[in-house]
Structure 1
Amino acid sequence: MLFITNRFPRQSIKTRIHRNFDFDLANNAASNSVFFCERLGREVYEEIGSKRFLQRLKAAKHRQILIYLHGYSNLPEDVFPAVEEFQALCEAQEPEEALVVPLIWPCDNDMGAVKDYWDDQESADLSGFSFARVLQKFLAWREHDQFEEDAALCLKRINLLAHSMGNRVLRETLRVWRKYHLPDGVPLIFRNTFLVAPDIVNEALDVGAPGEVICHASRNVTVYFAADDLSLRASKAVNLKNRIASRRLGHTGPEDLALVPRNVYAVDCDDVNIRYDADRGHTYFRSGVNPGEPGAVFLHLFAALLSGRVFPEDPARRMTILKEG
């Protein structure tokens, strides 16, 4: 499995092709460097460098790429099995359609969820600087192969899925990308951007808000939310304790669809999220009731991935309620 990370390795931060790469799990600082790697097995990783990484993506038989931004308090070996599950669901629906590529950002491994939450918010914000550099590389690669003379353009479509606090990483990445690299505006780099249980304020996508840039970079932005998401209830309580009064986008969807760009869509998952994740109702976008079998959220998401349209049967529609079956 190919992956990109800004977690510090135990080794030097200097890139060395084909070296072993070992995560320093005790260090949750966001590195300014990014590392392009391959997972060869459980806790076995190799650094392959950006040139070989992008060449591997281009050579893959898959027609689309799905960048996967995980949520808070997830260590690498928590993320990789989730990506494997999602990849298997994609292959079962349509072989060689979407290649899932995780971005691993530095969550904490301290004891205590509240401490992890605040540490991870800081890491999420700081990760924006390093991942903005990754987007610069993807943009150059998509428009021309900088490593091969007279190489054809890469026509693979790029999509992005951000879960939970991964949405904060995405927001900060695009904000930094625009501010320091593209002051005239970001390009339309993502075909679909899926915001699943987003742990950001529910006005984040409003015109003029910091997250509006997500809409500028995407053809479609689909928000999946559930009012009884227990993880986001805890998130709201933690933020209130620190005098940040805000409802979460993953609880309510956009505060007012009239105030967000027209390419934003809302999907209410309240009827299925607890069925798919009985503990928290938070991770409901992969398997459904039975492990390895797609749930209604995954099927909706994958249909948009295939068609490039969220509601192809009714282009004017902007919201729906998902139900099992």
Structure 2
Amino acid sequence: MSASLFRAGFWVSLLSLLTTTSGGPTKERHQSQAMKFLGLLLCVAFPVVRCHDISAGTPAGFLHTHGPINGSPLKRRITSLQGRNNKVDPDEELLFITNHRMNVPDGEESVGQAASQPTSVSFDEKNNDASGNVHFCESGTDDEHKEIFSEKFLARLRNSKAETILFSIHGFNVQPTDALDETAKIQAQFNTMAAERGDDAGRVKVVGLIWPCGDKIGIIRDYWDDRRRAYASVCGFERVLAKVLRADERMLTNQLPDPETDLLMQKNVSIMAHSMGNRVLWQTLIRADEMYPIEGIFRDIFMVAADVPNNVLDEPSSICMAADRVSVYYASDDLPLTYSLGRIPSGWRQRIGRLGPAKMDRVHKNVWEIDCSRFNNKLGGRLYGHGYHTPQVRLDDQDYPNPVLRHAWQTMIDRQVDTMGKPEEARSLVLSLLYSQKKAGQQQFERGS
């Protein structure tokens, strides 16, 4: 039902585009706009309404595939963190930072004050507004995580077995449980790649950055609310960045911090953002750039299916200044970005996650665009070609890491973008499903030799 409505909406919208003429009568233009709006509703709004299968007791919307437990059907998931293997982390822990409102066991909101001992906290599922507090936590079960506070949190990152720390920001309409699931899946695939090279421990440690998202009936309401929450999250995540950079110490003393206690001197730090998470990243770096230097603070920034305008990397760009390398993964048939509601008030400007940067000659020289159109709909079917960066690939009865994750991991390990046989100066690349399989075979060959 959902897929049929989506396809119907797509063809209605396509027909409206083909029949639109810029100089046509006003009536025809109004009819075309009406068809576009109808297509938008069919594509985006109706398929995600939570339709319940009475016999199964579970919702059938393509964005919500699990039913309720112990509470509002829009707030809880059957999937439990108790079933997640937090020990996939190189240090047998799964860490995350969030500005989601949190509860302590007695129901009061945790205010994130310094404490000598970890504090048990849980996500406040009744309130998805962005909190003014930022919580540095270790993942536990659905109902209990540990807030370990920034000093101990950063110490764990410095003492990690991994050589690279990758912060991962999820997209819109993602609940905390799903965000942590995604973090664990990314970590597990990185571990697989490390094992292919014969490494005992993971080379990369993934840390989730969780911002509050809605879970309403229908994606349109969620989109606008989540956009507001993304902007509301900027202040909190800028404070996180300042703590990681020890910005106050650098500015007040005008000298480098102690290498033994400074994360950037101990580890390579990178960041990956998906969908609307790129809006959080983009605005956070703009805010930080107004207050302290951010040049080269990240080794890599990976923008996956980014729901931001396609000119955000035009010079000057805070994103490009903040990283040694910026990799943009895009897909031309990413339908949620094709009908991105964020384009309506901004003159229908294309999203960078759909067609890449507007003009590569206008962006910084440290930007690479990677076309994922060959496989995004094969891996990201649940979100119609949008969530293609985490599912594994099944080829010849064997599972392989996701091509996007493989390419990003290869970039972090080699400290240069893999141009996949093209000249090193090539900045426009094409990724395929076979990429991960070929890399796995190459690793086995090199180990065998």
TM-score, normalized by length of structure 2? 0.66
Alignment-derived partner of residue 302 in structure 1: 409
Matched residues in 2 for 1:150 and 1:310: separation?
Answer: 28
Identity of matched residues, %: 35
Q: Which amino acid counterpart does residue 411 of structure 2 have in structure 1? A: A
CA deviation after TM superposition for structure 1 residue 242, in Å? 4.2
Alignment-derived partner of residue 225 in structure 2: 119
2:112 and 2:149 in contact (8 A); partners too:
no
Q: Which amino acid counterpart does residue 194 of structure 1 have in structure 2? A: F
Matched residues in 2 for 1:243 and 1:296: separation?
Answer: 32
Classify 1:241/1:265 alpha carbon distance in 2 versus 1 (closer, same or farther; 3 Å).
closer
Classify 1:323/1:137 alpha carbon distance in 2 versus 1 (closer, same or farther; 3 Å).
same
1:39 and 1:45 in contact (8 A); partners too:
yes
Matched residues in 2 for 1:150 and 1:71: separation?
Answer: 34
Classify 1:244/1:115 alpha carbon distance in 2 versus 1 (closer, same or farther; 3 Å).
farther
Matched residues in 2 for 1:297 and 1:8: separation?
Answer: 31
Matched residues in 1 for 2:337 and 2:143: separation?
Answer: 30
Alignment-derived partner of residue 430 in structure 2: 321
CA deviation after TM superposition for structure 1 residue 150, in Å? 8.1
Matched residues in 2 for 1:229 and 1:298: separation?
Answer: 18
Q: Which amino acid counterpart does residue 97 of structure 2 have in structure 1? A: I
Cα-to-partner distance string for 1:182-202 (whole Å, 9 max, x where unaligned): 1xx423111010000000011
1:3 and 1:101 in contact (8 A); partners too:
yes
Alignment-derived partner of residue 288 in structure 1: 392
Matched residues in 1 for 2:294 and 2:402: separation?
Answer: 33
Alignment-derived partner of residue 275 in structure 2: 164
Counterparts of 1:250-265 in structure 2, within 5 Å, are 250-265=353-368
Matched residues in 2 for 1:268 and 1:132: separation?
Answer: 30
After superposing the two structures, state which structure 1 stretch, 87-96 or 193-202, moved more.
Answer: 87-96
CA deviation after TM superposition for structure 1 residue 240, in Å? 4.7
Q: Which amino acid counterpart does residue 151 of structure 1 have in structure 2? A: E
Alignment-derived partner of residue 11 in structure 2: none
Structure 2 unmatched runs, 5+: 1-93, 104-108, 195-200, 251-256, 435-449
CA deviation after TM superposition for structure 1 residue 315, in Å? 2.6
After superposing the two structures, state which structure 1 stretch, 269-278 or 68-77, moved more.
Answer: 269-278
More helix by share: 2
2:393 and 2:433 in contact (8 A); partners too:
no
Q: How many pairs were matched up? A: 313
Matched residues in 2 for 1:67 and 1:166: separation?
Answer: 11
Higher RCO structure, 1 or 2 (CA under 8 Å, sep 6+):
1
Larger Rg: 2
Alignment-derived partner of residue 159 in structure 2: 59
Matched, 1:93 2:197: no
Matched residues in 2 for 1:121 and 1:278: separation?
Answer: 23
Counterparts of 1:153-302 in structure 2, within 5 Å, are 153=262, 154-179=265-290, 181-182=291-292, 185-208=293-316, 212-235=317-340, 238-242=341-345, 244-279=347-382, 280-290=384-394, 293-302=400-409
Matched, 1:132 2:201: no
- 3-state DSSP class of the match of 1:309? coil
CA deviation after TM superposition for structure 1 residue 307, in Å? 1.0
Matched residues in 1 for 2:112 and 2:330: separation?
Answer: 40
Q: RMSD of the alignment, in Å?
A: 2.1
Q: Which amino acid counterpart does residue 190 of structure 1 have in structure 2? A: F
After superposing the two structures, state which structure 1 stretch, 284-293 or 192-201, moved more.
Answer: 284-293
1:25 and 1:109 in contact (8 A); partners too:
no
Classify 1:13/1:244 alpha carbon distance in 2 versus 1 (closer, same or farther; 3 Å).
farther
Matched residues in 1 for 2:388 and 2:161: separation?
Answer: 28
2:173 pairs, out of 73, 78, 81, with: 73
Matched residues in 1 for 2:258 and 2:357: separation?
Answer: 45
TM-score, normalized by length of structure 1? 0.90
Matched residues in 2 for 1:4 and 1:303: separation?
Answer: 25
Matched residues in 2 for 1:190 and 1:72: separation?
Answer: 23
Alignment-derived partner of residue 5 in structure 1: 98
Matched residues in 2 for 1:136 and 1:152: separation?
Answer: 15
